[in-house]
A and B are shown apart, each in its own frame.
Chain A
Amino acid sequence: MENIKLHYDVDSNDFSCAGEASGKIKKALKDLGFDASLIRNVAIAVYEGEINMVIHAEGGVIDAEISPEKVTVVLKDKGPGIPDIEQAMTEGFSTAPENVRALGFGAGMGLPNIKKYSDTMHIDTEIGVGTTITLTFNF
């Protein structure tokens, strides 16, 4: 099987579109006949990534590559960067503004959920430049 590559743009400040990329990746994996729990893991991690891009960065891009062994997802934004990754990885820690919390987000679960549902997670962040998160999901 040749690797399948998917690419999605995430708009800034558009909560109504958040979930489109994860929904499409979920559908693609489903159509390819992957295991339901793997699909759920990928979809949840990507959705959290999308939400983070909308809340904290001014949107971003998501690239997914499906190979015979694994799914690799790269979430890339040009946002403010993460000053303290360890703190950001703590469940319950959130810097989301009040208007975002009113929508049901900002529980401080985004990055912890991404880590929980992926097999490997690598965060590359630079203040003022942006953040790139690389995830793998093994079959």
Chain B
Amino acid sequence: MSIATDLRLSRSLDTSARSGERSPKAMVFLVLLWVTMFIAMTVLLVLIVTTFIEGAPRLDLRLFTEYPSSTPARAGARPAILGSIWVICTTAVLAIPLGVAAAVQLEEFADKTKRINHLIELNVQNLAAIPSVVYGLLALAMLTLLRVQNKNLVIAGATALSLLILPVIIIATREALRSVPAEIREASLALGATPLQTMWKQTLPSAVPGIATGAILALSRAFGEAAPLLLLGGLVFVSYDPNGLLSGYTTLPIQIFNWTGRPQEEFRVLAAAASILLLVLLLAMNALAIYIRNHYQRRW
């Protein structure tokens, strides 16, 4: 869209008649604003295009069927892909029920005048901004406390990622619950439902699309995360398919990190090919989240 038409379409104020809107200074300012947006978009485009160009030659079946190898031509990411699936599914099972439960408690039942609930709220906000490596250190210390020698376990990695995304899920769920109008709850209570029935039968079902959107976005963040898993021994040579919660694993982002650090050019191509796969999967998750938000979200 051109700048001129955009100006005419702009919201709330009719600008075309106002003097000074087309002054050189105002025009330069608007151009600068567009330049900032353009730069951000261009970097995204360049990132996607360069990754595709570099990785395309190795984006073939071998990536999905082969195990890591010191010979680039025979190396693949099969265990990493399966490992990511194991870890993310376990993370979802752990984090979503806990996050939703905590959010329901804070939003629906907690007495908001109490100091302690205010403290919990502040604490959730703060947890959301703690660097991801710190969650890795927490999980590492927990495993040390439990005297686990081999820390490369699906359940350990999933625990670290669950703790990491828990605040994100709580915040998203609370927002979804808050957007359910009070009349729904009042009507349910007026018909004789208990607060628990109201929450379970009315409020929560109405909030499901918002919760689903938030949960998918949180899981996609966990999917792309590598730092906490590095601390838990995630960077290992896995030449088998992970097959359970106590199995060893590596994940796609860690496999990419591993390949990026190799001196041979071929491994960097492999890293780019795996990055394409990761990007496509994450974009699909994001698109799904946006789709749910736009199509199932009820407007009250």
Q: Are A and B part of the same complex?
A: no
Residues of A within 8 A of B (CB): none
Residues of B within 8 A of A (CB): none
